[in-house]
Amino acid sequence: MQSGNILQIPFRRTHSLLLSEPIKNYIETKYDQHPNTFARDLEVIDQLRKDAVNALEPHSSGVRKLQQYAAQLVYMSGKFPVDIGADFTWYPSLGYHTNQAHTENNIRFELANVLFNLAAMYSQLALSSNRATADGLKAAANNFCFAAGVVEHHKTVILPELRSSPSEDMDGLTLEALQALMLAQAQECFWQKAVKDGLRDASIAKLAAKVSDLYSEAADWALKSASVNSEWIHHMNAKHHHFAAAAQYRAACDCLEKRKYGEEVARLRDSLSCVNEALKESKWINRAVLGDLNGLRSRVSEDLKRAEKDNDTIYLIPEPSKSELKVLDRASMVAAKIPKEISHSQEMLGDHGDLGKPLFAKLVPYSVHVAASIYADRRDRLVNQAIIAELEAITARIKDLLASLSLPGSLQALEKPLGLPPGLASHAEEVRQNGGVHRLHDTIANTAKLKSSVRAMYQDGVDLLRTEAGEDEAARRKFGTDRWSRLAAKDALPKLYTQVDEINGYLKQADNSDELVQSRLREHESLIRLLGGTDRDLEDYVPSSSRATMTAKVEREANNLRGTLNEVNRLESRRRKRVEALKTKKNEDEVLPDLLRETARLEREYPMQPITASQFEHLFDDRLKRYDSDQNDLRQEDAEMVALAERIRSASHSFQVARQGDQSSREREQALQNLENAYAAYTQIVRDLETGRKFYNDLGAIVTRFRDECRNFVYTRRTEGQALESDLSNAMAGMHLQQQNQQSLISEKNAQARTQQPQPQQHVPPTARMVEGAIAAPTPQRPQAQPPPVTAVQESPQTVWQQGMPMVFAGPKAAAGTNGGMNGATAVDGRWEPSKGLRFTPR
């Protein structure tokens, strides 16, 4: 208990801890940045914690140390998870268990303790102020308000985000009691200053009444708390009644000044009653508070005697009852003030900030990397599937249309009846430069190896899950479902088992696609080999035709068709350029700078909220709008190709009608068209193989993560299973041992009961036989000596022993005469002789 009439919050204490070690390990394992990059920040955070936890004396420098460390903890909450791997140990400072440490792997638990000590620092600074002066009272009241503000911030901001149960002296009830206590003491400082300044009694009464209310509120909350000790509660109750008495006393003085003599007497009487109520706590309050109460009682008693005498002899004004007295007004001068270094700590961090530079500012949170990956996936899906794939589909539809119309083979055969057409020659040269069929087979073989590796990793993960499931089921059968109560693996982590089916589906789809590509290659392989061969081989394959006589109509339709095919080639070239430009645009679309700027904004505005990928959704939507123009171009391209397709059909029909009946170049047309189709198949196979290679590379990254997750999950499950099995085995062993002990005890009791049953003796008095069965008593051990011969024994009447009757040990009675009469009673010695045996006789 503190000796003064003001209470201070004691400091919580902790052990030394190098916070840099878990931070360094986390950066090394979870981020793609090296911990050495943050070597200076790691040193600073250790020094800040050391300074903060050792600030245990009331000094303004301690306030700044605690504020700086708290600000960095808030900032770090957005960079690291709360369970970073540091075990923070703190000892309570209130209540009855101050020697029981509380340890948590929780950054916010550390922050809560630091802010608690900051509130304690403000309260102790207030107590250390010179409250004998006006400036000292102002400083004390201000510090008490700051202490209440820190407690309020702790209660409303920190406690809801703690993610664990707070210790007893930091729960909501205790914090409410501390906040009310700090405000009461701040209001008391204003009351004391008003008294020193000689303000009017009415004003002082209003201040005192508010002090009483705040102490009453603090006591009410303290009674509900398990950590506020009884001495503090008695102190608060005494203060509550003390200032209620002081308020009524000052109101009585005001009544005297206003000549309300009857009311003066009533208020003095009520003041004395309040003082007496406060003095009921005299056994538990300290001398300072007790001295204040005794002084007030003496003063009130004297004034009450004077007022009663004056009113009874002079004024004769009726004294109102207590219920008729007007309730005193309240004048509140205090409110919880949260220091800006706490409420706006993140705004005060910076290169020139009052609280120093933010530590680990260059560390990119893991969620930002996840967000960047999510955006990249969405962007690639939009560009590759929604735009590029559609452009390529337009080209494929046009080529299919041309192939169905035997174009451009029929036109080439007419225009160049001898040799190789220029277009075909260029296609052949392109196939040769790209490696022809050999390149296709090599790519297929490499893709097959990649596919085999992906499937092997997938199978490893599946086998791990199956093995773990078998082990879990075996343990469930061994111990029973009641004891082996943990969830099955599928229920414990359904997301992982969902990936099993998803990846298996991807692999099956890939198998179908691979088979389709290989089927297309088998169909066109011979002609692709021909395209990759020499021009002589091509000339031998393509037969020459006799030069046909071209009429004006045929020539006109041929020129029209050639112009249409040239338009097809132009638009195809434009699409290829658009695809290349779009790929370049996609590769240059770097989202990380914008994510970092948005992260910095979120960390400033929501310092206690961890950064998650979902917070960047609006940023993703805004950035993807830059591809709206490409989607508009795609729609325009599709419309143009629809119109061009109609022109191709019309021109081809007119061309065929003009050449109707001309069979001179039919074989050449067919050969040229076959080669054109083979070239189109070759380009399509190349694109499909490239797509397949990229698909397996991407799938490999997914499967690698899947396998690693399976390994971690199985390791965790096995560790849990081993611990659970050990606990169950120990419990079952204990039960078995307990059963053995019970059986042993039962056997001993049975054996003891058998040994305690009366055994037939050579000489048993009748009274002993009567006792048998009525009470279980130990059987006395008789000596083996023969009893003395008795010629005749006068047996006493048999008396059945009943519960409640005492038992006495008695020696043998004197022998009777031979005639059955008693010749005389022989004195019996009361001492027991072993040779005479024992006999139980009811009394």
Q: What integer best gives the mean pLDDT of the chain?
A: 84
Query: 306: which residues sit within 8 A by CB, 6+ positions away?
Result: none
**What tokens were used for 658?**
């003009």
Q: Which of 245, 244, 215, 231 is nearest to 281 (CA)?
A: 231
The pLDDT > 70 percentage for the chain reads: 86
**What tokens were used for 159?**
């406690």
Which run of H or of E encompasses 88? strand 88-91
Instruction: Find the radius of gyration of the CA atoms of the chain.
Output: 51
**What tokens were used for 369?**
């990397």
pLDDT of the residue at 546? 63
**What tokens were used for 167?**
């210790």
The pLDDT > 90 percentage for the chain reads: 46
Q: From CA 388, how far away is CA 630, in angstroms rounded? A: 10
pLDDT of the residue at 836? 56
Q: From CA 626, how far away is CA 535, in angstroms rounded? A: 47
pLDDT of the residue at 19? 93
Q: Which of 351-365, 439-453, 762-776 has the lowest mean pLDDT?
A: 762-776
pLDDT tens, 148-157?
A: 999 999 999 9
**What tokens were used for 827?**
């004195």
Q: From CA 541, how far away is CA 672, in angstroms rounded? A: 9
Contact 222, 233 (CB under 8 A): yes
- Crossing angle of helices 494-531 and 666-756, in 10° steps, is 160
pLDDT of the residue at 661? 62
Neighbours of 575 (CB within 10 A): 20
**What tokens were used for 52?**
């903060």
Can you name the residues that pair with 840 across neighbouring β-strands? 809
pLDDT of the residue at 703? 92
Distance of CA 423 to the CA centre of its chain: 66
Can you name the residues that pair with 13 across neighbouring β-strands? 91
pLDDT of the residue at 758? 54
**Higher local confidence (pLDDT), 433 or 837:** 433
- The torsion angles phi and psi of 504, rounded to 5 degrees, stand at -60, -40
Q: From CA 435, how far away is CA 433, in angstroms rounded? A: 6
Contact 173, 219 (CB under 8 A): no
Q: Which of 25-39, 405-419, 573-587 has the lowest mean pLDDT?
A: 405-419
Q: Which of 210, 215, 316 is nearest to 262 (CA)?
A: 316
pLDDT tens, 205-250?
A: 999 999 999 999 999 999 999 889 999 999 999 999 999 999 999 9
What global pTM score does this model have? 0.57
pLDDT of the residue at 825? 42
Can you name the residues that pair with 88 across neighbouring β-strands? 104
pLDDT tens, 319-355?
A: 888 888 899 999 999 999 999 999 988 888 888 888 9
The yes-or-no verdict on residue 842 having pLDDT over 80 is: no
Q: What is the mean pLDDT of residues 419-448?
A: 88
Task: Tell me what percent of the chain is helix, strand and coil, each rounded to the nearest 5.
Answer: 70, 0, 30
Which run of H or of E encompasses 605? helix 592-605
- Crossing angle of helices 366-380 and 592-605, in 10° steps, is 140
pLDDT of the residue at 815? 40
Which run of H or of E encompasses 841? strand 840-842
pLDDT tens, 725-778?
A: 888 887 777 677 667 777 777 777 777 777 665 554 444 444 434 334 343 434
pLDDT band at residue 829 using 50, 70 and 90 as cut-offs? low
* Domains in the chain with CATH codes: 1-197+335-363 (1.25.40.280), 199-332 (1.25.40.280), 366-405+549-661 (1.20.120), 437-545+665-749 (1.20.140.50)
